[in-house]
Amino acid sequence: MRCLGKILGNDQSHIAILLVAIFVYIGTLIINPNAVKPCINTSLGEIQKLIIPIFTAMFLGELIKNLMTPKSVSKLFGRSRARNVFTAGLFGSILPPCPFAAYPLISAFKDRGMALSAFMTMLITSTMVEVPQIFAGIAILGLKMELTRILFAFLASMIVGYLFFLYRLKKT
């Protein structure tokens, strides 16, 4: 039981994925038993094809995460508030994709008096752009789609970040 708990962890939201998978297969087994075997075969094929690229991506992601320190990236920040929105967006983009790892860093910047518009841009890009996800994206989706995702997500984050900056400027 303790071993099972160690494997499953305590992230309720991820357990939901496991439950969905179990329910999908039990449901299929009841409604259309003939479809289960092709589903399992396809899944096993995908696992065989993707598991090593996924593990490699995880190893590379962790190495990059450990090489990047907040101190080295914070040198990017300038004095201009408009420029800060851009640099906050850049910084947010290269933060670790997991909110449990990224939010403490963002929270530290907020505590140091970062403007709300820059802080929000950092939050948006940390949720949407997530450059460290590039390895997962390449492993699963391919280089072209992953680069398209990053490019458009960053562009849109900057547009919304600057609109929010202008809105705040008008309000104050």
Partner 1 sequence: MRRGILAGVLCCIAIFVGSWSVLDPLRGKLPFFLGDNPSVHVMMILTAFLYIYISVIKPQIVRKSVGDSLKAIRGSIIYIIAALFIAGAAINLLPSKLVAEYLGEQAGFIAVLIGVAIGCILPACPFISYPIVFSVYMLGAGLPGVLGMLFGSGTAFACVLACDLTYFNSKIMGIRLLLTIMTALVAGTLVYIVNATGGLV
Contacting partner 1 (CB under 8 A), which of 40, 80, 81, 169? 40
Contacting partner 1 (CB under 8 A), which of 17, 26, 29, 169? 17
Cβ neighbour number for residue 119 with a 10 Å cutoff = 19
Binding-residue total with partner 1 (CB under 8 A): 81
Contacting partner 1 (CB under 8 A), which of 14, 78, 80, 169? 14
**Percent composition of the chain: helix, strand, coil (DSSP 3-state, to 5):** 85, 0, 15
Smallest gap from Cβ 148 to partner 1, in A, equals: 7
- 161 contacts 124 by C-beta, under 8 angstroms: yes
Cα(8)–Cα(124) distance, integer angstroms: 29
Is 148 one of the binding residues for partner 1 (CB under 8 A)?
A: yes
Residue 18: closest CA among 4, 29, 31: 4
Residue 53: closest CA among 128, 143, 131: 143
Smallest gap from Cβ 91 to partner 1, in A, equals: 16
Is 149 one of the binding residues for partner 1 (CB under 8 A)?
A: yes
Tokens describing residue 40: 């399992």
- 89-108 core/surface letters (b: 16 or more CB in 10 A; e: else): bbbbbbbbbeeeebeebbee
Cα(133)–Cα(110) distance, integer angstroms: 24
Is 25 one of the binding residues for partner 1 (CB under 8 A)?
A: yes
Smallest gap from Cβ 81 to partner 1, in A, equals: 18
Smallest gap from Cβ 94 to partner 1, in A, equals: 15
Is 130 one of the binding residues for partner 1 (CB under 8 A)?
A: yes
Write each residue from 53 to 72 as x if it is in contact with partner 1 (CB under 8 A), else as -, in one continuous string. xxxxxxxxxxx-xxx-----
**According to CB under 8 A, which residues from 96 to 115 bind partner 1?**
97-100, 103-104, 106-107, 110
